[in-house]
Homo-oligomer: A and B are copies of this chain.
């Protein structure tokens, strides 16, 4: 198929390359001319802008937008909407909020344009490993785009197959690494929850390694300390333990390089998905203590001292509880 790729950052560029490796044609544009030229060298057709891309794409054009969520994606899709024709497909492959997808899909449907949202996991490893994709949109359109998704996905590979999957109850595409999750928005919704879970998993490991490391802290009596080798612990857990995972693999790599992790400041960023996951939990009235605590740990990591902590001290000062004997 012929795909117009808008946004050639690390993710967009690699997606274009993986598509071309599978024999698809890519028309590429990015506001950075350098990025466009780099991809043209790898075989893409360079566009000079969205207008030019509209010309270069055949009828029933497929536009893949791969930009940061929020204004960049919103504005670009609005612009494409002016150029796109009845029967075109607009794919948002970024990290958009799923309610924006629902809104945009409705808006574009009025023009006869199909909207598909693709949540993508796999990070910078995707070019090599393939992208795990969660897709939202109407069935006909998603089926029509199957050759694209099939090319991007990891495929069956050598991952052990899950026993017990019954062909007529499940989506065969799941084993190849992509699913049609539901109508527009469902792709990003599932990806959002994926990231929410990711925060929780990461924080579970983080707390565990913290407790291991602090077992040698001078807060403990000397004869209760252990000086543990965290690098080896991460490694051994990769091998037959219940908590083996890809995130643990990454941790083992990082620790092997520098067990003290000194290159990292301790300030941890968060993208929108963690927060949106909690919003979804609250809308559904589902308790989500672990996912929320994970998000809050990141907020806290970026604050030196909270005002709240000072309020605590002020109260303690007030009732005299900071003295040695009971309050």
Contact = CB atoms under 8 A, between A and B. Distances in A.
B323 A203 contact: no
Interface size class of A (residues with CB under 8 A): 35 or more
Given A305-B266, A315-B251, A215 B322 contact: no
Interface in A90-110: 93-95
B204 A240 contact: no
Nearest to A152: B240
Contacts of A292: 278, 289, 292, 296
A214 B10 contact: no
Nearest to A232: B174
A211 B193 contact: yes
A226 B193 CA distance: 13
A244 to B, nearest CB: 5
B243 A325 contact: no
Contacts of A197: 204-205, 207-208, 243
A313 B211 contact: no
A145 to B, nearest CB: 16
Nearest to A208: B197
Contacts of A264: 309-310, 313-314, 317
